[in-house]
Structure 1
Amino acid sequence: MFPDIRGLRRPLFAFAAGLAMAMAPFGAANALQGEGFAQDRSDIAADPAVRYGQLDNGLRYAILQNDTPPDTASIRMAFNVGSMVEEDDQRGLAHFIEHMAFNGSENVPEGEMVALLERYGLQFGPDTNAGTSREYVVYQLDMPEVDDETIDTGLFIMRETASNLTLDIDAIDRERDIILSEERLRNTPVRRWSNALMEFRYPDSLVAQRDAIGIPEVIQTAPREAFARYYDEFYRPDRAMLVIVGDIDVDRVEAEIADVYADWAASGNPAGPPVAGSVDPDRGFETGYFHDPDFFTVLTVESVQPDTIEEDTMASRFDGLLDSLATGIVSRRMSTIISSGTSPLIQGGANFSTEEYGFAARANILAVAQPDRWEEGLAVVEQELRRALEHGFTQSELDEQLTNLRTALETSVEQADTRVSSSLSDALWSSWRFNQVFGHPVDALARYNEYEDDITVEAVHAAFRDQWAGNGPLVFLATSLEIDNAEARIADVWNESAQTAVDAMEDVEIAAWAYEDFGTPGEVVERTEIDDLGVTRLVFDNGVRVSLKQTDFENDVIRMTMTFGRGDLEPRNEAVVDTVASSVFTSGGLEAHSFDDLGRILAGRNVGGSFSVNAGSFSMSGSTTPADLELQFQLFAAYMTAPGYRPESLAQFRASLPELRRNLGSTPGGVRTRDISRMLRSGDQRFGFPTQDEADDVDLDDVRAFLTPALESAPIEITVVGDFEEQAVIDAIAATIGALPDRAEDWPEYDDNRILEFPEATETPIVLTHNGGDDQALVNVYWPTTDDSDVHVSRTIRLMRAVLALKLTERLREGEAFTYSASSSNVESFYHPDYGYLYVGADVRVENIDPVYEAIGLIAADMVNGEITDDEMLRARRPLLEQIQNAFESNGVWLGWLSQSFEYPERLDRIRTITDDYSDITLEEIVVIARTYLSADTAYRVTVVPAAAE
C-alpha cells in the first residue's frame, strides 16, 4: 500500500477490520423524535436536489435524480427498528423476517421473488439484499434499468415486503435451518468478543442482549404468532423511509409512490423506542477479560457518559468536528508509534460516538497488541491517553488534520456531480436513521469555512477532555492467552503505568518533499489512436508505454496503474519473498522519507495507492486529481528509484502474521483462505499464506534482490483512465517515469516458473481442521478446467458457473436448507498455461457433509445431462449482461481492461467482443463445457471440520 494521505492507511494485513463494529458510532435508536425530516428542525441546509415527502399514513420518502451510473437506480426501504425491540420470545426474529421477505407474499409466491428480480437483471446478493442490526432493518434493490416497468417492479417488491408478507409457517420452518446456518457462520471469535465487550460496557442492558442474529432456541421454535406480532407492530409506514436515487423521472416516481403506498395502513400501536439501557455515571475504574485461543489480543479503553438525542444543528456539527479532530490526532500518534517497528502494538486508534443507542456517548481507544507484550501495549495506551488529556495537542498535529480535512471537502465538491447512486441512497436513509440533515458537499465546505477560525488546539483539547469526562476508565483485554486473575493483573498494569510521567508532545518539523527531479523529461516518440475504444497509446523515448482513456464517469478523478517485470514469476532467493515484498515495500518508505514522514509531507494532497506482486507483473496503482497529478507520478517514480527498505516495515509484518494466521484458523472459511490456495497448486509456496518460519527466513536483502532488477530495468506500461487533460498527463509522466533511464525492450518470460500443477482428484475428501465451533464445517469441490487463452471458452465457463450457482442456491439453500450461502467461482489463468479451476462450496453442519457432497454431485450431473432450462439461462445471463453494461461506465474496470494491453494486444479485442460474446453463448455450449469439466473423476475435494471432530 502506498501512503494514502487521505487516510494514511497501513500496509499491514487489515486483520482487525472485523473489530470495527465495536468502534462504530451508533445513532439515535429512533428517528421518530420529530415530525417530518431533520432539516425541518435544523439550521443546516438540506440538499435542494432531493425531493422529500410524507404520505398521510406516515411513510417518508426521498427521491434524487442522479445519472451515475446512467440508466440505473437504487431503491432502499428502511425501518427504524431492529432486534432491540424484540421481546424475549422474539430474539432473532427481526433478522428472520428479513429472510422471509424473499419467501412469499400476497402477490409473489414463495421462491419467486428472487427469480423475478433475476429476470430483470438483478443478481441475488450484490443487487438484491437486506440487513438487520439492533436499530434498523433495510432492504435494497439496485435496478439495472430505469424503464417504467423495472422501476414499478422495484416499488411493488418493496410494498410486498412492507405489508404483504404471508409468513407462512411451512415457509418459516423451511427457513429455520438456513438462519441457523447463518448463525453458525457468524459465530466467530470477533462476534463473541463483541458481545462480551458490549456486556462489559453496558451491563444488564437490553442492547447487550439483542445481538441481531438471535439465539438458536428462538430460531428453532418460535411460532408464527411471534413473527406476526413483530411484523404487525413494527412494519408500519410511520416507521419507514423509502429512498430512490438514480436516472429517473422524479415526478413520475413520486406519483407512483403515492399510488402504490397510500393504502398501506398501519396495524398495531406506534410504539416508541425501547429503553435500550442506561449509563451509571458513578461507575469507576473497572477491568474486564475475554479469552479465546484463536482471537487477536485487543486492548479496549473506554469512558461512557449519559447522552440524549439532539437535533442536527450547526452547533452540534461543530462539536462533532472538534471531536473528530481530537480522535484523529490521537489515532495519528498511535500510528507513528506503531510504525517504529519496535512497538508492542500492531494497530490502534481512537473514536468517539454520541447518541449511541439513544442513551450514551462513548470515548474509545482500541489497539491490537502482540500477545506476549500486552502489558507493554496497555501501558502505551494508558500513557498516550493521559498525554493527550494532560497536555493536549500541538499546532502541527492540528494543521495536518485540518489540511487533510479541507482537501477532502474540496475534493467532494469537485466530485459531487458524479457520486454513485447506490452510495447516495445509502447516505439518504442513514441520514434519516441518525436524525441528520442530508446536505450537499458545497454546503459542507461552506460550513467548514464558517467554523475554521474557531478551531484551535485549545478547543480541540477541551473537546477531548469532555469525551473522557464520563465513567471509568473501563479497560477490557481480549486475548488468546490464559491469564490467572486477569482482571486484577490488568488493573495492576494500568496503575503501574499511571505512575510514569508523560511529557507534552513536541511539534514536528515537516521536511520538504525530496523527489521532484528525475532528470531530463522524456519525449513521446510514438502515438497511436484507437478510435473505437477512445484510447490513445504513447511510447516515450526511454521505452515507457502509456495507454490513456479520458472519461467523464468521475469528476476530477484520475486512476492509474503501472506494471513492470513478471511479478510472482520472477526468480527469488526465498519461496515467499513475493508475499513479504507486497507487505513491506511501501511501508519501508523512501530513502529520504519514512512512511510516517510521508503522511506529514504529503498532507492535504490527493495521492496514494498500492503496490502488488501479481501473477505476471509487479504493479503500482493509485488515484489522484488533476491538481496532484504530477505529485502522484513523482511518488511512483520515487518508489521506483529510491525505496527505503526500512527494517521497521519487516518487523511490523512479522509481528502481524501470527495473529492473522491464528484468527484464520478459527473458522472454516479462514482455513480455506489460509491453506487451500497453495494446495490447489500442488504446494507451490508462491501461493497461500506463508508460515511464520517461511516469513522469518525472508530478510530485506531478499526483498531487495527480488525487486531491484525489475525496478531498474524492466519494461514499464502505464494506464491512465479518468477526468484529465491529455497534455497534463503526458507532461507529468515525461518528468517522472519518462525521465528514468532506458528500459529493456523485453523481459524474460520465465517459462519454467509458469508451470502450475492442479492436484490429483480425491475420491475421499482431504480433511483440514479449524479451531472454531464444533458444528461448523465447510465443503469444497474444485474441478480442473483450462487457462484463459481462448476467451470464448473462459466466458462460457463463467456463464456455466452462473447457471450452476442458481442450481446450488435452489437446492442447497432453498430446497434442503443445508447452508446459508453456497459459493462458487472460476479461475482461468492468463499467465499459467493449461491452469484453471471451477469451485463450489458451502458452509454446513458436520452431519451434512456427505449429503452436501452428494447434492453437489447430482447438480453437476444435471448440468452434464443438459438439464438446464431457458429460464435458468435468462436468470444467469441477464444479470451478467447488466454488470457488463455498467462496467463500460466504470473507470476502475477500464483500467483493468487496458492494463498491459501493449504486451497483450488481444485484450483490446476482448473489450470489443464481451457483450456480443456473452449474449450469443448457447445452452448447447454450456452443456458441452459442463461435460468437458464437471467430471466426478477429476474433482478435488477438501473438507474443513472442527479439530475435535477429526
Structure 2
Amino acid sequence: MRINFRLSLAALALLAASTSVSAQVKKKPAISPRSKPVNVAQQVKSNAALLPVDANVVIGKLSNGLTYYIRKNSMPQNRAELYLVNKAGSILETDAQQGLAHFVEHMAFNGTRDFPKNQLVNFLQSSGVKFGADLNAMTSFDETIYQLPLPTDSVNVFEKGFDILANWAGHVTFDQAELDKERGVVLEELRLRGKNAQERIQNQILPTILSNSRYADRLPKGKEDVIKNFNLATIKSFYDDWYRPNLQAVIAVGDFDPKRVEQLIKDKFSALKNPVNPKPRTEYAVTATPGTVVKFATDPEFPYTLAEIIVKHPGTKVKTTTDYLQSMRSSLFNQMLNARLNELMQKPSPPFLYSNASYGAFIGKQDAFSSVVVARPGGLEEAVTNLVAEVERAKKFGFTLTEFERAKQNALIQIGNAYKERDKTRSVNFVTEYQQHFLNGQGIPGIGFEYQFYLDNIDKITLEQMNALAAKFITDQNRTIIVEAPDNEKDKLPDEATLLGWISAAGKNLTAYVDNVSTKPLLEKIPDAGTIVDEQRDDSLGVTTVTFANGLKVMLKPTDFKNDQILIAGYGFGGTSLASDVDFTSARLASDLVANGGIGEFNQIQLQKMMTGKNVRIEPYISDYTQGFSGSSSPQDLVTAMQLIHLYFTQPRKDNDIWQSNMSQVRSMLVNRHLDPQSVFQDTVTAVLNRYNFRAMVPTIGRLNTATADKAFDFYKSSFADAGSFTFTLVGNFDVTSIKPLLATYLGSLPAGNTKKAYVDRMMYPPAGQVTKTVNKGIGDKSSVQLVFSGDYVYNAQNNIQLDALEEVLNIKLIERLREQESGVYAPQVRARYQKIPVGRYSITISFGCAPENVDKLVAATMDEINKIKLNGAQLTDIKKFQAEDLRAQQVQLRENYFWVGYIASGAQNQDDPHRILHYPKTLQTVNVASTKDAANKYLSGKNLVKLIHMPEKKAEK
C-alpha cells in the first residue's frame, strides 16, 4: 500500500545487495494472447519486414496528440487495468526541480479538480481498490506511470476511472497545505529506500557507469534540499510543461466493451490542451567511452564484495523481423552462457557466491553485455577470473551443438506455453507491452505472430551465428569495470592494473567446454500401480479425494483457469521439529542437499539437461512442522512430474560436492553479515520473537560445523520414508478419470508403513509480557520500528475474519495518521498472522521506518489509534472498505489455480471446514463496529507486546 518509484537502470539491480544479485536481461515484446498463428512470410512481405501490430489492440490518437490503446480481455473476469503513461520523468527536471517528477506523482493522489484532498483514495477504497497493492504509481528517468485496476461490473466505478485518469493527466490542483504535508512523506520514502550502504555505493559508481551523463545527475529520488525547500510555482511548472496530451497515453485492457471505452477516452481526454509554446522533449543518451574505465567503491556497511563488467553497445529496438530474430539469438546466448556459470556453482568449493552474464537493454539509448560476480570474502581474484574465463571460453570455442539444441527446445517450450495460454493471459501483461510500444517504439505483433515466427525461424539460426555473438558482445571498448566491497576488504582489493591483469590473463590456457549429458531414462522400471480404496466427490467445490491402499491421499480439483498448468502440493507432518537439538542443523539443510543433488544416478546438472523441453518443476522441502513437495507441470509433462516425486521418495541422491558447495556458500554469507544494519536488526527481531530459540535463528559457524551430509541425508530419508502419511493436492487442467491411473502408478505405489507422524511444538513464538529491545547499529539517519502483539488463539473462520478486518482497518488508520497527518512515515504496514499448527497462536505486527527523532512520537500516535478502536470500534466506513476490498479480491482469486491449491492444501492441514469459501460472503458480514472493538481489546490488549526498535549507532561525545 504505497506509491512506488524505481530506477529504470538494469545494470544497477545488483545494488540491492541481497543474497541474490542480478542484472536484467532485455526481453522481447511481451506476449499478446488471443491471436491465431499467422503466415509470417506473407506478413513480412506485405509490411516490408516491419513487425505487424496485433489486430486485437485498438490504437488511436486524439486531435490533441494523446495516444490510446484499448484491448478487450477477460482474464480476470469483470476487471480492467487502466494506466496513464507520461513520457516525462526525472531526466526532464531542471536543477531546481530535482525530485519533483516523483513529487508530482505523490500530489496526484492528494487532490485534483474533481477529487479534492483524499477523496480519490477514499472513493477507490470504498469500491474495493486497495491503496498501494492495486492503486499505485511509478516514476523513473524517462516516464511516470499511474496504474488503476478497477472492477467493470460496476458501471459507475469503472467509468469514474476515466475521470480519475483525466484528472491525473491535466487537473492536479497542488493545494499548498497538502503539498507541505507531503514533503515529509516523500522524504520518508527516500529514507526508507536509502540512507544505507547501497545508496552510498550507488552515489560513488553512478557517474562512472553513466559516463557523467545527465542520467547520473537526475536520479528519480532527487535531492533532499530541493524537496525541503521548493515552492509551489516550481513544481507546477514541471507539471504544466510535461503533463501534456502529446506526451501521454491511456492504456485500457480488460473485460469491457472496447467501443464504449474508446468513447469514454474521447469524452474525458479530448479537452486536455498542450502548452501554447511547448518545451521540446529532449531525448538524452549515455555517450560511448573509448577503452576501459575502472571504479572501486567501498562502504563500512556493504556486506559483499562484487565486480561487474559492463560493455556498452548502441541501443536496439525490436521493430522489424530482423530485430526480432536477433533478440531470439541474444536470448539463446544468455541462456547457454548462464547454464555454464550455474554449473560452476555445483563444485565442492564454488569460485563465487553468485554470477550472471547477459546481453540486454541498458539505459540512455544503449544496450550492454553485463557480467556480475559476487565473491567469497577474500576471493575476488578467484571470482573475477572464473567469471571472465567462462565468458572467454564461449568467445574462443563457442557453444556445443547439444547446448544449442537444448536452448532452442527451451525457447520453443516458453513461447509455446504463452501461445497455449493466449486466451488466459492476464490483462496487466498486455499493459506492459503497450507501455513499451508507446515509450520506446517496441513492436507488438501478438502471440500468434510470435509463435509462428519462432516455429518458422528458430532452425534458421545457426551455431556459427551464435558463436559469433560472443565476439560482438565482449570487447574492451566502451567498457566499465566496477568493484564494490566493504571497507574491511579495502586493503585486500587490487589496484586498477592488477585487476585488468586478472581479466587479461583469465582467457589464457582455456580448454573447450565439455557437455556432460545422460541418455538414460529418468525411471528405468515403471512401478506396479497401487490400488484406490476410497473415493469421495464434493460437487459443491468440484474436489475429488482419492485414497490409495498405502494410505496416501490426493485431492483433485480440475479447472479451466489455465490451459497449460497443473499445480502440485504435497505434505506430511513432522518437519525439522522431529530433529533433536544436536542434529537440527543437519536436518535444516537436508532438503537443500537433496533438491540440489539430483536423483538416483543423475546429478543435478544431468537432471536439468534431461528436463530440457519439459514444462515441469518439482521441489522437495522440509519446513518446521511439515515436509513435502511444491511444483507445477503442463498436462503433457505430468508423467515426468509424478516420476520426479516418486524418485524423490524412493531414490534421493546424496551429492557430497553439492553439500560442500552449499556449506561453503552459507559460511561465506555469514562472514560479513554483521556489517549490514538491517540484517543485524532482523536477526535480533527473529531471536526475540522466538525467545532466542536457535532453531529459528540464522545458524552460527559453530552450529554449521556440527552438520554433516550423512546426518542430513538420513533425516531426509526418514522424513519421506512413509508416503502413507502424505496428502497431495492437484489443481489445474486435467480430467479426474484420466489422471487416476497415473497417480496410482507413481503415488499409490510408494512404500508406506503405519506410522502417522505428528510434530513437536518447539515453542517458537513471542515471549509473554512486555518486552522492549533497541538495536543501535548503522551510520545512516534512519530507524525502524516493529510493535508485535501476540498470544494464544482459537483458530476458526469467525476469529480469522475478525483478525483480517483488524489488520486492514489498522492499515487504513495508520496510513491516515502516521503518513497523511503526521507526515512521519512512508508506508506503515500491519500484518496479522494466525496459526493452528503446532498450537493456536496469533500475532499482529505493526512496522514502519522513520527518522530517529520521531520514533517515540510515532509509537505514541500508533498506540493512540489502537486505543480509539479499543474504545469505540472501527469506523463503519473503514469496515466497508475492508469488506469491499476483500470481496473484490476473492472474486479474482476464485478463478486462480494458485488460490485453490493453497486453499485446499492448507485446509486439509488445519482440518478446516472445506466449504468455508462458500460461506465467506456471509462470514464477512459478521465484521461490524462492535466486533472490531471486541477484537481490538482481545488481540491488542498490550498484555503481550514486544517493541523492537532499530536506531543508528550512538555518536561518541567529543
Q: TM-score range by the shorter chain?
A: over 0.9
CA-based RMSD? 2.6
Correspondence list, 1:132-171, <5 A: 132-171=139-178
Contact preservation (8 Å) 1:83, 1:211: yes
AA aligned to 2:256 is: I
Q: Specify whether residues 144 and 692 from structure 1 end up closer, same or farther in structure 2 by C-alpha distance, changes over 3 A only.
A: farther
**Structure 2 portions without partners, runs of 5+:** 1-15, 30-43
Q: Give the counterpart of 2:424 among 406, 418, 423.
A: 418
1:648 aligns with 2:657: yes
1:319 to 317, 322, 326: 326
Deviation digits for residues 864-888 of structure 1 (CA, Å, limit 9, x no counterpart): 1015321111122211221122221
SS in 1 for 2:577: coil
Question: Secondary structure of 1:553's match?
Answer: coil
Secondary structure at 1:104's aligned position in 2? coil
Pair 112,571 (structure 1): closer, same or farther in 2 beyond 3 Å? same
2:226 counterpart (195, 200, 218)? 218
Alpha-carbon separation, structure 1, partners of 2:831 and 2:283:
45
Residue identity matched to 2:388: E
Q: 1:88, 1:570 → 2: CA distance?
A: 62
Asked whether the equivalents of residues 599 and 647 of structure 2 are also in contact (C-alpha less than 8 Å), the reply is yes
1:159 CA drift (Å): 1.0
Are 1:377 and 2:387 an aligned pair? no
Greater CA drift, 698-707 or 46-55: 698-707
User: Quick one: which amino acid aligns to residue 514 of structure 1?
Assistant: L
Q: 1:452 aligns with which of 453, 458, 482?
A: 458
Equivalences for residues 443-522 of structure 1 within 5 A: 443-469=449-475, 471-480=477-486, 481-483=489-491, 486-488=494-496, 490-491=498-499, 493-495=501-503, 497-498=505-506, 500-515=508-523, 517-522=525-530
Distance 1:222 1:26 in 2: 39
How many residue pairs get matched?
Answer: 921
Which residue in 1 is equivalent to 2:396? 390
**TM superposition shift of 1:432:** 2.6
- CA 1:661/1:64 → structure 2, altered by over 3 Å: closer, same or farther? farther
* Structure-1 separation of matches of 2:899 and 2:850: 35
Superposed, 1:51-62 pairs within 5 Å as 51-62=58-69
Counterpart residue identity of residue 458, structure 2:
E
Structure 2: how far apart are the matches of 1:281 and 1:27?
27
Displacement of 1:756 in angstroms is 4.4
Matches within 5 A, 1:636-785: 636-657=645-666, 670-671=679-680, 673-714=682-723, 715-744=725-754, 747-750=756-759, 752-753=760-761, 755-762=763-770, 765-771=772-778, 773-785=779-791
Q: Does 1:618 align with 2:633?
A: no
2:253 matches 1:245: yes
Q: Give the aligned residue type for 1:680.
A: L
The runs of at least 4 aligned residues of structure 1 exceeding 6 Å deviation read: 38-42
Q: What is the CA-CA distance between 1:769 and the residue it aligns to?
A: 3.7
Residue equivalent to 2:828: 822
Change (3 A) 1:602 1:302: same
Report how far residue 178 of structure 1 moved.
1.1
Q: Is the 8 A contact 2:770 2:942 kept in 1?
A: no
Q: Determine whether 1:200 maps to 2:204.
A: no
The one-letter amino acid paired with 1:124 is F
Question: In the alignment, does 2:934 pair up with 1:928?
Answer: yes
8 A Cα contact 1:829 1:836, kept in partner: yes
- Report the alpha carbon displacement of residue 587 of structure 1 after superposing the two structures with TM: 1.0
> Does structure 2 conserve the Cα–Cα contact (< 8 Å) formed by 1:556 and 1:724?
no
- Which secondary structure does the structure 2 equivalent of 1:538 belong to? strand
Q: Which residue of 1 aligns with 2:239?
A: 231
Q: Distance in 1 between matches of 2:619 and 2:793?
A: 27
Post-superposition shift, 1:798? 1.1
Secondary structure in 2 aligned to 1:533? Answer: coil
Q: Is the 8 A contact 1:611 1:621 kept in 2?
A: yes
Q: Quick one: which amino acid aligns to residue 774 of structure 2? A: V
- When residues 290 and 320 of structure 1 are mapped into structure 2, their CA distance, relative to the original with a 3 A threshold, is farther
Tell me which amino acid in the other structure corresponds to 1:838.
I
- Aligned-partner Cα distance in 2 for 1:451–1:272: 41
> Contact 2:303–2:676 (CA<8 Å) still a contact in 1?
no
Q: Is the 8 A contact 1:797 1:826 kept in 2?
A: yes
Partner of 2:41 in structure 1?
Answer: none
The answer (yes or no) to whether the contact 1:295–1:479 under 8 Å persists in 2 is yes
Does 1:606 find its partner at 2:615?
yes
Partners of 1:902 and 1:485 lie apart in 2 by: 55
| 2:576–2:584 contact (8 Å) kept in structure 1 | no
Please identify, of 882-891 and 484-493, the stretch whose mean Cα deviation from structure 2 is larger.
Answer: 484-493
Unaligned runs of 5+ in 1: 1-13, 29-37
C-alpha displacement at 1:289, in angstroms? Answer: 4.0
Once the 2 structures are TM-superposed, how far is the Cα of residue 308 of structure 1 from its aligned partner?
A: 5.0
Q: Which moved more, 1:431-440 or 1:897-906?
A: 897-906
User: Which of 403, 408, 419 is 1:402 aligned to?
Assistant: 408
Q: Give the match for residue 126 of structure 2.
A: 119
Would the aligned equivalents of 1:89 and 1:218 in 2 still touch at CA under 8 Å? yes
Whether the 8 Å CA contact 2:791–2:944 is kept in 1: the answer is no
Q: Which moved more, 1:508-517 or 1:433-442?
A: 508-517
Match of 1:299 in 2: 307
Q: Report what 1:859 is aligned to.
A: 865
CA shift for structure 1 position 426? 2.5
Q: Which residue of 1 aligns with 2:34?
A: none
- Compare 921-930 and 869-878 and name the one that shifted more: 869-878
Is 913-922 or 38-47 further displaced after alignment?
38-47
Q: C-alpha displacement at 1:787, in angstroms?
A: 3.1
1:479-628 equivalent positions in 2, closer than 5 A: 479-480=485-486, 481-483=489-491, 486-488=494-496, 490-491=498-499, 493-495=501-503, 497-498=505-506, 500-515=508-523, 517-572=525-580, 573-628=582-637
Distance in 1 between residues matched to 2:58 and 2:896, nearest whole Å: 27
Counterparts in 2 of 1:311 and 1:498: CA distance versus 1, 3 Å: closer
1:53-72 pair list within 5 angstroms: 53-72=60-79
Question: Cα 1:521–1:240, aligned 2, differ >3 Å: closer, same or farther?
Answer: same
- Give, in whole Å, the separation in 2 of the partners of 1:16 and 1:67: 37
Cα distance in 2 for residues equivalent to 1:831 and 1:602: 36
Question: Deviations 1:654-695 (Å, cap 9, x if unpaired)?
Answer: 344356557876666544543423421212233243334333
**TM-score w.r.t. length of structure 1:** 0.92
Partner amino acid for 2:400? T
Q: Please, which moves more after superposition, 466-475 or 107-116? A: 466-475
Query: C-alpha separation between the residues in 1 aligned to 2:108 and 2:586?
Result: 49
Distance 1:899 1:811 in 2: 38
Q: Secondary structure at the match of 2:795?
A: coil
How big is the shift at 1:268? 6.2
Q: Does the C-alpha gap of structure 1 residues 919 and 657 become closer, same or farther in structure 2, counting only changes over 3 Å?
A: farther
Distance 1:838 1:904 in 2: 20
Partner of 1:5 in structure 2? none
- The Cα shift of 1:290 comes to 3.9
- Taking the aligned partners of 1:701 and 1:17, their CA distance within structure 2 comes to 27
Contact 1:286 1:472 in 2 (8 A): no
1:668–1:945 CA contact under 8 A, matched in 2: no
Q: Partner residue of 2:193?
A: 186
Comparing 447-456 and 366-375, the one that deviates more: 447-456
Give, in angstroms, the shift of residue 42 of structure 1.
6.4
Provide, for residues 505-552 of structure 1, a one-character-per-residue CA deviation record: whole Å limited to 9, x for no partner: 234343323325352011222111101111111011221101111111
**Contact preservation (8 Å) 1:77, 1:242:** yes
Counterparts of residues 7-156 of structure 1 (less than 5 Å): 16=18, 19-20=21-22, 22-25=23-26, 43-156=50-163
Q: Is the 8 A contact 1:328 1:350 kept in 2?
A: no
CA distance in 1, matches of 2:423, 2:621: 32
Q: 1:947 aligns with which of 949, 953, 957?
A: 953
Task: Determine if the alignment matches structure 1 residue 879 to structure 2 residue 885.
Answer: yes
Q: Residue 142 of structure 1: CA displacement?
A: 1.4
1:607-647 C-alpha deviation (Å, 9 max, x unpaired): 11433333531121111111101101111111122222323
Distance 1:499 1:464 in 2: 13
